[in-house]
Structure 1
Amino acid sequence: MKNRALGPFNVSAIGLGCMNLSHAYGAPVSREQGERVLLAALDAGVTHFDTAALYGFGVNETLVGQVMKPHRQKFTLASKCGMQGVDKGDGTKVRVIDGRPETLKKTCEDALRRLQTEVIDLYYLHRWDKQVPIEDSVGALSDLVRQGKIQAIGLSEVSATTLRRAHAVHPIAAVQTEYSLWTRNPEIAVLQACRDLGVSFVAFSPVARGFLCGPLDIAGFDAKDIRRSMPRFAPEHHAANLRLLPAYNALAHEAGCTPSQLALAWLLHQGQDILPIPGTTSVEHLLDDLGAVDVQLEAYLLTRLGALINQHTVSGDRYNAQANSEVDTETFA
Structure 2
Amino acid sequence: MALQERPLGSTGLRVSGLGLGLMGMSDLYGPADEAESIATVHAALDAGVTLLDTGDFYGMGDNELLLARALRGRDRDRVRISVKFGALRDPAGGWSGYDARPEAVKNFLAYSLRRLGTDHIDVYRPARLDPRVPVEDTVGAIAEMVEAGHVRHIGLSEVGAETLRRAHAVHPISDLQIEYSLLSRGIEKEILPAARELGVGVTAYGVLSRGLLSGHWTADRELNGDFRGISPRFQGDNLHRNLALAEALRGVAEANGATPAQAAIAWVASRGADVVPLVGARRRDRLAEALAAADLELSPADLAAIEAAIPDGAAAGDRYAAPMMADLDSER
TM range (shorter): over 0.9
Structure 1 unaligned spans of 5+: none
The reply to whether residue 159 of structure 1 matches residue 198 of structure 2 is: no
- CA offset at residue 218 of structure 1? 4.7
The letter of the residue matching 1:5 is P
Deviations 1:179-215 (A, max 9, x none): 0000001112111111001111000011111111114
What residue in structure 1 maps to residue 7 of structure 2? Answer: 5
Mapped pair 1:40 → 2:33: no
Query: Partner of 2:291 in structure 1?
Result: 290
Displaced runs of 4+ in structure 1, greater than 6 A? Answer: none
In structure 2, the CA distance between the partners of 1:211 and 1:136, relative to structure 1 (3 Å rule), is same
Is the CA contact 2:279–2:290 (under 8 Å) kept in the aligned structure 1? yes
**Between Structure 1 and Structure 2, how many residues are aligned?**
326
The CA distance in 2 between the partners of 1:69 and 1:143, in whole Å, is 28
User: Could you say which residue in structure 2 is the equivalent of 1:65?
Assistant: 68
The answer to whether 1:19 aligns with 2:23 is yes
Of 56, 59, 67, the match for 1:56: 59
Q: State how far apart, in whole Å, the 1-side matches of 2:21 and 2:88 are.
A: 17
- Are 2:185 and 2:313, in contact at CA under 8 Å, matched by a contact in 1? no
| Residue matched to 2:195 | 194
Q: Say whether residues 1:76 and 2:80 are aligned partners.
A: yes
Amino acid of the structure 1 residue aligned with 2:304: T
When structure 1 is superposed on structure 2, of 241-250 and 119-128 the one drifting more is 241-250
For each residue in 1:74-127, what CA deviation from the matched residue of structure 2 results, as whole angstroms up to 9, or x when unmatched?
2111111121435xxxx5454331111111110000000000000001111111
Mapping 1:230-249, distance limit 5 Å: 230-249=231-250
Name the structure 2 match of 1:321: 322
Question: Residues 132-169 of structure 1: CA distance to partner in whole angstroms, max 9, x if unpaired?
Answer: 11111111111111111101100000000000000011
SS at match of 2:290: helix
TM-score for both structures, normalised by structure 1: 0.94
Tell me the SS of whatever aligns to 1:167.
Answer: helix
Distance 1:218 1:146, change over 3 A: farther
Question: How large is the Cα RMSD of the aligned pairs?
Answer: 1.4
Q: After the TM superposition, which of the residue ranges 122-131 and 109-118 deviates more from structure 2?
A: 122-131
Task: Report which stretch shifted further, 144-153 or 66-75.
Answer: 66-75
